Chain A
Amino acid sequence: MDFRLNEEQQMLQDTVARLVRGEYSFEKRLAFSETEAGFSVDFWKQLSELGLTAVPFSEELGGFGGGGVEVQSVMTELGRGLCLEPYLQSVVFAGGLINQAGNDSQKDVWLSGIASGELQAAVALQEPQSFYDLNDVQTRAEKKDGGFVLNGRKAVVIGGHCADLIVISARTAGDTRDAGGISLFALKSDTPGIERRVYPTIDGSKGCDITLNNVHVSVDALLGEDGSAGPIIEYQTGRAIAALCAEAVGVMEVANELTLEYLKQRKQFGVPIGKFQVLQHRMVDMMSELEQARSMAILAASVADEEQSDERRRALSAAKNVIGRSGQFISEQGIQSHGGIGMTWEYNFAHYAKRLIMINHQLGDDDFQLERYAFLLQAS
């Protein structure tokens, strides 16, 4: 047993850490957030020039052949910088879906672009009524003229506002919430009939809702076999959960560092407030929550690329549940420990706090994961 990163993984993490430290000050992040893309196009280029957008892809595709731990190393550092770039959405999630479901020519066309960072992809699986259940799909794809016609609406597509390619789930058979009958399509975002309602997110990023209005696509857009995408979506959502957990750990690390620093330097009643036992114990609790979260992020990373099993499912749901709860604890107690200053836009802590709460709303919150875990428990 060895919980240390190997030399290559450590180098990878150090590379991202250096880049984030150098290029991603809090002030710059605020400015990136205000741009049309909602992230730094320049920073994205630097990530790709260093080969970081290719980390999870095979060597044939120009990648590193990295697994869960390599993705974890990148995501934790991006979390520390509160980076807005679509690494999770494009590289990990969309890249993973195409990699698992796509045929060779689809992989050729799209994955090399995603791996080189030239093509930005987003994932549109949720719908207005779906809550966090990705089998709850009403969007329909009907066969027509050798291709498909898509109609429906996809909800909260992070990064979808400026993505070139959107991976969309649609039903080719079955009823809403059936596990079977779901298909995946890779759509160019300028395909006629795609409408996007763009919005900022509360944590400084951007996204959109997508309406599909008689969107005609050729059969080349279909990823994998018609109606059989359910298990692929589930598997890749698991990989994305592991990556999101790693990001959350980075966010929590900085949130705790900032809070601890504040407890040491802020004076009231003639002493640093960190001298008050009630705040000492709270800081210890925040630290313990971070360590619990870190452990679960490690577990998630180590099962992320394993073959699907109930054990993998349980580990990933458990990880996301812990991350959701510890993230909320650190967010709320960190604000409380700071007092008013922890609630201001100008101070970075608040932005870490917001990201932690919103991570809970991505890919299923702690309640959803608890329910899923309990269901798997009963089923086993």
Chain B
Amino acid sequence: MNINYTPDEIAFRDEARAFLDQALPADIATKVKGFRRLTKEDHQRWQQILYKQGWYATHWPEEYGGVKWTPVQKHIWDEESCHYGVPRSVPFGVNMVAPVIIKFGNEAQKQTYLPRILSGEDWWCQGYSEPGAGSDLASLKVRAVSDGDHYVVNGQKTWTTLGQYANMIFCLVRTNTEVKAQEGISFLLIDMNTPGITVRPIITLDGEHEVNEIFFQDVKVPVENRVGEEDKGWTYAKFLLTYERTGLAGIGLSKAAMSHLKQLASRCIKNGRPLIEDTSFSQRIARVEIDLTAATISNLRIIAAVEGGGMPGAESSMLKVKGTEIRQAINDLARRAIGPYAIPFAEEELDLDYEGEFLSDENAAPLSAQYFNNRKLSIYGGSNEIQKNIVSKMILGL
């Protein structure tokens, strides 16, 4: 047993750090570390830098332009990225639809879509959830009726993250209503500029526009945009979900948030002393950091198993639950650290160009909003209840 990185892995980490030192734009890192808003342009600028470095597609085979990293290397990259304040990658193209196209798509689809994902030409979003199909995804109702060389799509998708920026959407649609729910689903790639598609923003409780509803009215989609076989979409969807689940634990993000919290608590004042010196508050921080340490090792154990040729199984569901609870606990403490200043929402201070005086701590403005926003962590990507169902079924056999 050895829980340390090998010399090769340490060399890789040094290489990653050197690259981030030199290539990560300071304004973007400042935004990420201070929980400020990122624009579409920020995401695209960083995507281009990664693309030129050849480090954008870490889950793809080399023949399609991927980079051949081991699971441990991917993990190191993830940790360093979070530490440096790299924007969280928008996963829908590169890490979600691309693996599906690579595994189940035809040659034409690979030739068309993969280079455009790599170059950043296409921005993908995910058409899975519907108003009536959340945890029970297989009950989805968006209908695609075959009409010669195309499908006619009608219905509504929801919770579409950053759909307002996307020009492509991958959708689960119902192509057969005569069979069991899981057996009548197909996987379509749809151009968002097709007539009949409407994107409507959903504003979340923190006032942000991150998610959307997408309406389809008689949208014509060429049959050649179907991935794999008709009515076999559920298989592809599940394959994609395993990719979604990896990384949802957000261990690297929690580590970055923890370091942010400790800095914050050393600047905030209680009884004339830094808050970090307050016994009860420092013990609260300590408890979460200890949980985070345990989750970090659990994460490494899963990665090591995958490195040895295994597939991440239901263990990643357990880690998703723990990891999201830890991140929410960190957000809770950050909000508590600023005391009464959790109440004001000084939105102007979220702007990087803000030159006025800060109401309290320079990083206080987004903290309450972020606490509320991150309640989503235990809901999305398969709610924590669904993850527990998976564990009880797959591991415990209950």
Contacts and interface: CB of A to CB of B under 8 A. Distances in A.
Interface of A: 126, 128-129, 131-133, 136, 155-156, 158, 176-177, 197, 199-203, 207, 209, 267-270, 276, 278-279, 332, 335-336, 339-340, 342-346, 350-351, 353-354, 357-358, 361-362, 365, 367, 370-371
A33 B205 CA distance: 14
A250 to B, nearest CB: 19
A131 B270 contact: yes
A200 B205 CA distance: 14
B298 interface: no
B205 A350 contact: yes
Given A344-B202, A361-B342, A361-B343, A336 B379 contact: yes
Contacts of A354: 205, 372
A156 B343 contact: yes
Consensus secondary structure, chain A interface: mixed
Consensus secondary structure, chain B interface: mixed
Contacts of A332: 375
Contact of B344 (A132, A207, A357): A207
B37 interface: no
A343 B205 contact: yes
Contacts of B159: 340
B343 A203 contact: yes
Nearest to B211: A340
B47 to A, nearest CB: 27
Contacts of B339: 131-132, 361, 365
Q: Which 5 A-B pairs have the closest CB atoms?
A: A350-B205, A268-B136, A345-B203, A156-B340, A131-B270
Given A131-B275, A267-B132, 18 more contacts: A131-B339, A156-B343, A176-B272, A199-B345, A201-B343, A202-B342, A202-B345, A203-B343, A336-B378, A336-B379, A343-B204, A343-B376, A345-B205, A345-B207, A350-B205, A350-B372, A351-B205, A367-B281
Contacts of B360: 128, 155
Interface in B331-386: 335-336, 339-347, 359-360, 368-369, 371-372, 375-376, 378-380, 383-385
A339 B343 contact: no
Given A344-B205, A354-B205, A129 B343 contact: no
Interface in B204-226: 204-207, 211
Contacts of B139: 268-270
Nearest to A203: B343
Contact of B343 (A158, A279, A371): A158
A290 to B, nearest CB: 20
B280 interface: yes
A330 to B, nearest CB: 13
Nearest to B339: A131
Contacts of B385: 276, 278-279
